[in-house]
Amino acid sequence: MRESLRLIRLSALLENATINVCSAAAMLGINHTFTAEFILIGFSAFPRLQLMFFLLFLLMYLFALLGNLLIMTTIWRERSLHTPMYLFLCALSISEILYTLAIIPRMLADLLSTHHTITFTACGSQMFFSFAFGFTHSFLLTVMGYDRYVAICHPLRYNALMSPHGCACLVAWSWIGGSVMGMVVTTAVFHLTFCGPNEIHHFACHMPPLLKLACGKNVAVVVMGVGLVCITVLLGCCLLILLSYAFIVSTVLRIPSAEGRHKAFSTCASHLMVVVVHYGFASVIYLKPKGPQSLEGDTLMGTTYTVLTPFLSPIIFSLRNKELKVAMEKTFLSKLSLQNS
């Protein structure tokens, strides 16, 4: 009898304790429903414009894809373009194709669908590939800046410094560095606990809105650490490019003839424009000051880097690079003339 009374009292105490813990959790706003999938609500702010966005982004994506494939095909077919500068450009086109492939097809599918859910694993994969190829893109732009620096400032040592083996190593390390950065960022973010609301205020698994859904003591540390690593790496790449161009400008201004200065600057124009577009849009997204933000504004700003930058890059390289432009015309016009004959 006494044992049964003790069990009844113990169960009552446990029940009261459970009620008190749940009440405390509710008072603190803690939700212990852990997230197994996310909902991407980026374009839900534009219900009437989704079809228009789909057609626009599809055309831009196809243009970017075909433009990069055209650049790669031209470089592969034209022997005169088998130089370090165009090897790096080919690697850049590959990274751009893979970056857009990681985000845009899913975004286009969501624009036509009423279900915008993405699983935990798929979200992690998308974040890894987008960061890996995005950082690879930044590293390759830095390598291309170094290539222009060596070509203009140390022309006699160019063949020695930019040997085929050396160029292959620079490309390989760019890809390895991008993959490491993608792994570091994704591992840090997805080791956090996501609980409560599962709506990502973006059209992709973008890091800042995803971190807002995380809970636990380590969130602030992870946010600061990941942000510091990403900004340090990107600003480091940007500063190296600026340093390369500072030496380039200093060397070019010492060239006596105007024609020589124009020729030297023309070899850098396309690369410099792509760097400005790449870092300009990236800084607008990642370095914007904190303040009241709207879903519409964040979504539209996100498309500038995800869709507009890959769309502009092949246009800039094909139109501003005279040697590549001539090679494209020569390759594909001759192919058309053979088909017509």
Tell me how many domains the chain contains. Answer: 1
pLDDT bracket for residue 333 (50, 70, 90): low
- Report the CATH number at residue 267: 1.20.1070.10
Average pLDDT, the chain: 83
Question: CB count, 10 Å around CB of 211?
Answer: 18
In a domain, residue 78? The reply is yes
d(CA 274, CA 85): 14
What's the pTM value of the predicted model, to 2 decimals?
0.84
Model confidence over 40-50: pLDDT tens digits?
888 887 888 88
In a domain, residue 141? The reply is yes
d(CA 132, CA 98): 10
In a domain, residue 150? The reply is yes
Average pLDDT over residues 169-182: 96
Domain limits for position 244 = 38-330
3-state secondary structure of 47: coil
d(CA 86, CA 154): 19
Indicate if the pLDDT at residue 292 is higher than 80.
no
In a domain, residue 18? The reply is no
- Cα Rg, the chain, nearest whole Å: 26
* Amino acid 206: pLDDT: 86
In a domain, residue 127? The reply is yes
* Amino acid 300: pLDDT: 79
Average pLDDT over residues 85-95: 93
Cα 213–Cα 178–Cα 312 angle in degrees, nearest 5? 90
Model confidence over 244-256: pLDDT tens digits?
999 999 999 888 8
The tokens describing 223, both together, are 């946010």
pLDDT over 90, % of the chain: 42
In a domain, residue 17? The reply is no
Residue 153 C-alpha from the chain's centroid: 31
In a domain, residue 247? The reply is yes
